Chain A
Amino acid sequence: METTGGQAVRVRGLRKRYGTARTGWKQAVAGVDLDVGRGEVVAVLGPNGAGKTTTVEILEGFRARDDGEVLVLGEDPARADRAWRARIGVVLQDSRDLGELTVGEVVRATARSYPEPRDPAELIATVGLEEKARTRLRALSGGQRRRLDVALGIVGRPELLFLDEPTTGFDPQARRTFWELVESLRDGGTTILLTTHYLDEAARLADRVVVVREGVVVAEGPPGTLGGAEARTPLVSWMQDGAPRSEVTDRPTELVARLAREAAGPDGEVPHLQVVRPSLEDVYLSLIGAEVGAVGTTTGAQTGTAAEEGTR
């Protein structure tokens, strides 16, 4: 096997199910392939229960997998040692621990575990908690707490950082501040694997988005191209003879001109005329809303979009 110098994460055919023979099985991850290149920011996007956290926790070495091939920084997380843990950074979902310690104490204590940690005081300033260095954790706001979690995740200068739903429950201002922090890490060359169910977050932070649904990857690509070019084809909708009509077309201007001639009312207006270029959100919703089996192709995704638009 070749070295994974250019690759931080390589996953093939990952499977994991929960449950027992008695209670029945739930297939949380049903054959996921995933690649993350060095220096890349990849967002795993999907609804709750899609298998995002299970996948990431297998990559972090917290869970055993049932099947599949997993290499993280060239090693199998299931057999990873301290040296490997020193090379990754993990920001878990919710955190409410260590309440009685101060920000400074927690960062300094965590830094002790790593061979070449960042300077704790500088790091606290980087995440904007300078004034809170002597504050106990229980007194931090949700956004401050999350920025501290990131500080603890990167204090060991990880080559790969896992962020699991980092901004759930944030107000817009806290989210923006958090994004800026992640962007500065990205610009510093840290490889980041992010899970989120916020589309705007994935679009803003990620080089590449992987959409998962019911344990499988249903789409993958840079945020701007997700779902393929056809998924972005404009949709023209209008009312004709009392019924809603719509058409997906590459040439919306031509269609509108034709409608102006053929479907306009006495006042020269086409009733309820709209030209909509499906947003990333439309594409995403169609991806996770459609049946898994039907989504392999962009046509499937597009049909879903058109149908959804048509009903509005």
Chain B
Amino acid sequence: MSTHTARPTGRGRLPGIWSLALARASVELRSFTRERDAVVFVFLYPILMLALFATVFGSEQAGSAGTGVDFARYFLPGMIATGIMLSSFQTLALAIAVERDDGTLKRLRATPLPASAYFLGKVAQVLAVATVQTAVLIAIAALAYDVPLPSEAGAWLTFAWVFVLGTATGSVLGVAFSSAVRSGRSASAVVIPVVLVLQFTSGVFFPFYSLPAWLQTAASLFPLKWLAQGLRSVFLPPEMVSLEPSGSWQLGLTAGVLAVWLVAGLVVGIRTFRWRRHDDG
């Protein structure tokens, strides 16, 4: 059986994973930016919502007497969190479900492209979109709505790890959730309600402290609440911590919950990922 060394000569080496990942990232970014739906409902959506909230509630304060901030400032962390979730979870869950349905994945599987390069390309696309989106949100908040930005390095360090961990968790969960979608046509019907419910219950559209306790508890099971809370710790003044139901920013718990979802998403994603459609044998 030892005939495997008898490869035809003159075959060059297979390209490396990193150069392939880079090539995939460029393909992914081009596809994303040309999909008008994605640009509007993933990239622009949180930016428009921030502008809308800041304009509508421009003269009001979030919080209570003594510990209040402008609505624009209160909603900035929530909009960054929702942007991260849309750019990572929603984008990947939809894109991979559609690519599985329309045959992109099967086509790639027939080439020598390694699976790792495919996923690295996706991650790079998500990171690029989430980074630009977050930067635009922060810039608009600061320039148009005079939201003061944190000046201490510690706050930006917290921002960095919450952003990276949140994006990673959202991406992994998006890959895993794509397997729950049975066809490309049903993809948005399956994914978007999940996203919407989490947005309304996780302190993105309503101040988290104004939700009933049972809803707060329910939302605490899911990562978006923790992502938004971690970002509030960065962008809200320290005294606003008194409005958190626990009376603390709970950064350790935030890291823990996000990490648990990350690992769970990895396990489920690896076990359920398929290159072919459900009905394709």
Contacts and interface: CB of A to CB of B under 8 A. Distances in A.
B43 to A, nearest CB: 15
Given A115-B15, A116-B12, A97 B99 contact: yes
B107 A97 contact: yes
A193 to B, nearest CB: 14
A96 interface: yes
A11 B1 CA distance: 16
A82 B103 contact: no
B30 A90 contact: no
Contacts, number: 97
Contacts of B275: 62
Contacts of A90: 107, 110
Interface in A1-53: 1-5, 18
B19 A86 contact: no
B112 interface: yes
Nearest to B36: A100
A60 B281 CA distance: 14
Nearest to A100: B34
A100 B281 contact: no
Interface stretch (B2-10, B71-79, B207-215, B260-268): B2-10
Interface in B89-122: 99, 102-104, 106-107, 109-114
A97 B111 CA distance: 15
Chief secondary structure at chain A's binding surface: loop
Contacts of A115: 11-15
Contacts of B15: 112-115
A113 B31 contact: no
Interface string A67-98: 00000001100000011011110101011111
Interface residues of A, number: 40
A94 B6 contact: no
A75 B275 CA distance: 22
Contacts of A298: none
A109 interface: yes
Contacts of A4: 3
B56 interface: no
A99 B23 CA distance: 18
A110 B102 contact: no
B112 A95 contact: no
A3 B7 contact: no
B20 interface: yes
A105 interface: yes
B112 A114 contact: yes
Given A74-B6, A83-B7, A105-B27, A113 B112 contact: yes
B113 A116 contact: no
B239 interface: no
Given A83-B112, A152-B107, A156-B111, A112 B19 contact: yes
A63 B281 contact: yes
Contacts of B24: 109
Nearest to B2: A1
B106 A159 contact: no
Contacts of B7: 83
Interface string A233-274: 000000000000000000000000000000000000000000
A54 interface: yes
Given A3-B3, A105-B27, 14 more contacts: A5-B6, A83-B7, A85-B110, A87-B8, A90-B110, A92-B110, A95-B107, A100-B30, A109-B27, A112-B19, A115-B12, A116-B12, A156-B111, A159-B8
Interface of A: 1-5, 18, 54, 57, 60, 62-63, 74-75, 82-83, 85-88, 90, 92, 94-98, 100-101, 105, 109-110, 112-116, 136, 152, 156, 159
7 contacts: A94-B103, A97-B102, A97-B104, A98-B104, A113-B113, A114-B111, A159-B8
List the 4 closest pairs (A to B, CB-CB), nearest first. Answer: A115-B12, A90-B110, A97-B104, A100-B34
